[in-house]
Amino acid sequence: METFYDVLRRQGITRRSFVKFCSLTATSLGLGSAFAPRIAHALETKPRTPVLWLHGLECTCCSESFIRSAHPLAKDVVLSMLSLDYDDTLMAAAGHQAHAILEEITAKHKGEYILAVEGNPPLAEDGMFCISGGKPFIDKLKWVAKDAKAVIAWGSCASWGCVQAAKPNPTQATPIHKVITDKPIVKVPGCPPIAEVMTAVVTYMLTFDRIPELDRQGRPKMFYGQRIHDKCYRRPHFDAGQFVEAWDDEGARKGYCLYKVGCKGPTSYSPCSTMRWNEGVSFPIASGHGCIGCSEDGFWDKGSFYDRVTQINAFGVEGNADRIGGAVAAVTGTAIAAHAGLTALKRARLDHGTGFDRNGEETGQRRDPQGGRRPAETAAVDQNTGRGA
Amino acid sequence: MNAVESRPADELALEALFQGVHATRMRDLPLNNPQLRVEALGFRDWQGARVGALVTPWSVLLTILPGPGGADGGGVRRLSVGCTQVWRFPSGEYEFHGHEAEGLGHYQQCSLFSPALEFESHEAARIAALAALDALLAVPPPPEPRKVSRRGLLLGG
């Protein structure tokens, strides 16, 4: 029996680096450092779960994001875990040799491997718009998915369809949950998703041998539970009615809210405003451009990136991704109104980074690993954290 | 009118500021809930700071204003936008965003709802805001011991 730890050691990763990786992963999962030994123990003792990574109609931006995970160590470790199996973009093998690996894993590890899908299958003309290994991608996808334990849908392509499914969708590009209907699918949307989110999701599944808690749309709650708007550092300007009215106006220079120039922050569920990009350096709004809502279903068909959001159908409850598409209970009665207030307060509370309550149940929340740090004003914030004892 | 006059001055000042915002910059915001109006409510002293809630047609927010002990009253730091202060209240820790406005000075806010479209009446938003505010400052009851069935104990259910 080969464990992840064996593999990592064989790849030349030191014990010290391994332990460091475990604490980093615990942090990015919002689990707190106390969970690092649990992760280490799991990786040392559990047999390695093979991961197969397929590519359909996509642009490889998910892979690009993934292999640039902020911490080089996280990247090395996770890639060591994954690249052993099948990823037609990253693997050394090619042609028949590559195909043989796919056949071997699906046969030898039937029902044990995790399938990660980047991109989606086009269904028009019997799938002829995406050929992989001489066959339509849809056939390969269905074949590999048949005996997978769980499926990860990387990015907006696999999750929703993305640009290739935009109207009129001539190739009939279809998100994978519409063709794989008998397996749990973890959607990790974004174009691309944040590298740390990707590594954390895959490490969570490999370490704890289960899928993270998902919202009604199938996204991990720990990363997709809140909107960009909820945690945006420009939020005080929104509440005070201070908007950028036109590009490069006075408001733009002062860093005002970008809602009026099309920011989709109020309708987009993604941890960009808390985790940020490129090692937590920045995210679109911090660079002066509104969010384009790339993590949302059908974002290409929702009008211009510069049109302001005027409809928030059923997007009423802040941070509650579960309610989208469902009925948002009208807050009318006293008891219901009071309950809504208490729920909102609980959502606003910082949960000390465990992500788990006292009973060891997941709370579906994770602590902002940046701790509210804003790069431009780090010094100011550091003085401003913590009050009382 | 007596009821209005007995309200604290800082609460009225905050309300007036945001009424001005509503009347001018936020007047035609498509995200506004037309049933709601601007109201500051429930302001009380908390360790030298002033803690209350603010209902607006676009957001419902917990708000902290400096107490009477000078500009930094109660440890309410003057923060530029983008900076936050973590406050420890009896119910837990919360992150507040800082901002300031002419006429009011600096203040800090923590969002409860935004947009606030699910409220069918202003009264409902008031109740929600006050319930959150009371719970913020209340010590939460200890969690009930978890009931584990025999099957659950063995199978981790």
Query: pLDDT tens digits for B39-58?
Result: 999 999 999 999 999 999 99
Checking if the pLDDT of A318 tops 70, the result is: no
Residue B3 lies in a domain: no
User: pLDDT-based confidence at A384, cuts 50/70/90?
Assistant: very low
Checking if the pLDDT of A85 tops 90, the result is: no
- Which pLDDT belongs to residue A271? 93
Residue B4 lies in a domain: no
- Which pLDDT belongs to residue A133? 87
Instruction: Assess contact for A243 and A291: CB atoms under 8 A.
Output: no
Q: Do A344 and B132 touch (CB under 8 A)?
A: yes
**In this predicted structure, which of A289-303, A356-370, B70-84 has the lowest mean pLDDT?**
A356-370
Closest residue by Cα to residue A72 from A126, A17, A129: A17
Q: Please, what are the domains in chain A? A: 1-47 (no CATH), 48-224 (3.40.50.700), 229-308 (4.10.480.10)
Q: How far apart are CA A287 and CA A274, in angstroms?
A: 14
- Which pLDDT belongs to residue A248? 94
Query: Which of the two residues, A318 and A58, has the higher pLDDT score?
Result: A58
Q: Which of A243, A342, A359 sits opposite B132 (nearest CB)?
A: A342
- Which pLDDT belongs to residue A355? 43
Question: pLDDT averaged over chain A?
Answer: 82
3-class secondary-structure state, position B154 = helix
**Residue B65 near chain A (CB below 8 Å):** no
Query: Which of the two residues, A28 and B104, has the higher pLDDT score?
Result: B104
Q: Which of A341, A377, A383 sits opposite B127 (nearest CB)?
A: A341
Q: Residue range A249-254: average pLDDT?
A: 96
Per the DSSP assignment, residues forming a β-bridge with B50 are B45, B65
Give the count of domains, chain B.
1
Q: Which chain A residues are Cβ-neighbours of B93 within 8 angstroms? A: 349-350, 352
Closest residue by Cα to residue A270 from A257, A283, A289, A288: A283
Share of chain A above pLDDT 90, in %: 48
Give the chain B residue nearest A229 (alpha carbons).
Answer: B114
Please enumerate in sequence order all residues whose Cβ is within 8 A of that of B151, keeping only pairs 6 or more positions apart, or say none: B157
- Which pLDDT belongs to residue A168? 95
Beta-strand ranges (E) seen in chain A are 51-55, 86-87, 114-118, 131-132, 135-136, 150-154, 185-188, 349-350
Residue B34 lies in a domain: yes
CATH of the domain at B143: 3.30.1460.40
3-class secondary-structure state, position B53 = strand
**Residue B110 near chain A (CB below 8 Å):** yes
Q: Residue range A107-128: average pLDDT?
A: 94
- Which pLDDT belongs to residue A83? 59
Residue B54 lies in a domain: yes
ipTM > 0.85, yes or no: yes
Reduced 3-state DSSP string for B94-117 = EEEEEEEECCCEEEEEEEEECCCC
Which of A58-72, A111-125, A314-328 shows the highest mean pLDDT? A111-125
Size of chain A in residues:
389
Q: Residue range B11-35: average pLDDT?
A: 94
Checking if the pLDDT of A136 tops 80, the result is: yes
Question: pLDDT averaged over chain B?
Answer: 89
- Which pLDDT belongs to residue A8? 82
Q: Do B80 and A380 touch (CB under 8 A)?
A: yes
Residue B20 lies in a domain: yes
Domain range for B18: 9-155
- Which pLDDT belongs to residue A66? 86
- How close does chain A come to B151, measured CA to CA in Å? 17
Residue B122 lies in a domain: yes
User: pLDDT-based confidence at B72, cuts 50/70/90?
Assistant: low
Q: Which chain B residues are Cβ-neighbours of A239 within 8 angstroms? A: 56, 58-59, 61, 99, 109, 111, 114
Residue B144 lies in a domain: yes
Residue B60 lies in a domain: yes
